[in-house]
A and B are shown apart, each in its own frame.
Chain A
Amino acid sequence: MNITRQILDAFIDDHLNEQETIKVEKALRESPELQAQLTDIIKSRDMGDHSIGAIWRREHLSCPSREELLSYQDEALDLDRLDYIKFHLETVGCRACKANLSDLKNANPLPEDPALRKKHQQFLENSKILLPKKN
């Protein structure tokens, strides 16, 4: 596997499958040049990267909407679209869509664990001091 700039981008964004990730990690350990390249990319991102892959991933440009994911779950879409969404989830490996899909399967929006639910309430209570002041 030739480690290109695009692959490093996908690596940083967690957009590679496990096998590819392992390959990149190994290559990084062995090559100081590649490490330097990775550092450069991260630096350029801090400055607001606008490469195609970065924008596509960051803005989730090809991600189906939540409504579409619901229909996907019920197989209530045409075959081409179903096939594409499956590809987007499984082959591209979009973690945002996977997370949305598992969330949709869960009817209750609040955490089930009482301790986590309490933390959720506390968070809402404590975070309100950060809200802008009403005029």
Chain B
Amino acid sequence: MVSLDERLLVKKIQEGDQQAWNELVLRYEGRLTNYAQGKIKDHSTCQDLVQESFLGFLSKITNFDASRSIQSYLFGILSNKIADFLRSLGKSKIVENPVDSSGNHKGNPFIDPAMGASTWYRGDEKKKLENDALTKCLVLLINDFIKKKDYLKLKTIELLFVNGLSNKEAATILGINNKVVASHRFFATNFIIENLKKLNLSHEVFPEFYEQDTET
């Protein structure tokens, strides 16, 4: 949940309040710098990338949706800036010179400053609805685990969905049986589908639910 305090900060900046802007920079600068320093040794470069991320945020501030987390947004921009920077050093893992569907070389695979930033800003209402619906269902799911202190399920689902591991890999890490992992996956998928249904959204848009994991 985005705090009232954060919403107020965004609102004030949207109204041109410089003190609110200074406050925001001060509040997020440390964590962003630490994030950058996890990947890049040179502190001055890290600071440049963090400052560019802040500028990216500020340049679009009038359209920023205050119900979104500032932190997640800033981390998103920064992580792309870092990827771009590393790529420019030739260290990056993103394939060089990716080509688009018509065979043209794309100079920069990350057109938008934040991954999926379009879900924050652009007028694609359908995408935004889908994104918001799925976010809502996932928050319900995670809160359900936490409320019941069912951390084993949360850990399992996080390894599957966030780290993209297979049932078998997750089972090995957690020291549990593959079948238990499969049942947790089944539970989570069902939970999300049921809650999506309540929101009256088509599940065709989320094909990953129907991918069968063969490694049970």
Contacts and interface: CB of A to CB of B under 8 A. Distances in A.
Nearest to A52: B161
Nearest to B31: A103
Contacts of A75: none
Contacts of A91: 155, 159, 173
B51 A123 contact: yes
B95 A50 contact: no
Nearest to B168: A2
Contacts, number: 217
A8 B15 CA distance: 40
A116 interface: yes
A134 B16 contact: yes
Given A6-B164, A53-B164, A92-B159, A58 B95 contact: no
A69 to B, nearest CB: 10
Given A2-B166, A58-B115, A84-B154, A28 B34 contact: no
Quick one: which of B16, B17, B39, B101 has the most chain A CB within 10 A? B16
Contacts of B124: 48
Contact of B55 (A9, A13, A127): A127
Contact of A98 (B38, B158, B166, B173): B38
B33 A111 contact: yes
A106 B119 CA distance: 33
A30 interface: no
Interface of A is mostly: helix
The size bracket of the interface on A is 35 or more
The size bracket of the interface on B is 35 or more
B138 A61 contact: yes
Contact of B162 (A10, A21, A81, A124): A10
Given A98-B38, A130-B58, A16 B69 contact: no
B58 to A, nearest CB: 5
B134 A52 contact: yes
B15 A53 contact: no
Interface string B40-81: 000110010001001100110110000001011001100100
Contact of A38 (B55, B95, B160, B163): B95
29 contacts: A6-B165, A6-B208, A8-B164, A11-B93, A25-B93, A42-B109, A46-B110, A47-B118, A48-B117, A48-B119, A50-B127, A50-B205, A52-B134, A52-B192, A53-B162, A56-B138, A56-B158, A91-B155, A95-B35, A102-B34, A103-B33, A110-B26, A113-B43, A120-B47, A124-B25, A128-B21, A131-B13, A131-B18, A133-B16
Given A50-B131, A99-B35, A102-B34, 20 more contacts: A13-B115, A15-B164, A35-B98, A38-B94, A42-B110, A46-B110, A46-B111, A46-B112, A47-B118, A50-B119, A54-B115, A56-B138, A57-B162, A84-B155, A88-B158, A92-B158, A115-B44, A116-B44, A123-B25, A132-B62
Interface of A: 2, 4-16, 21, 24-25, 28, 35, 38-39, 42-43, 45-62, 80-81, 83-84, 87-88, 91-93, 95-96, 98-100, 102-103, 106, 109-111, 113, 115-116, 119-120, 123-124, 127-128, 130-135
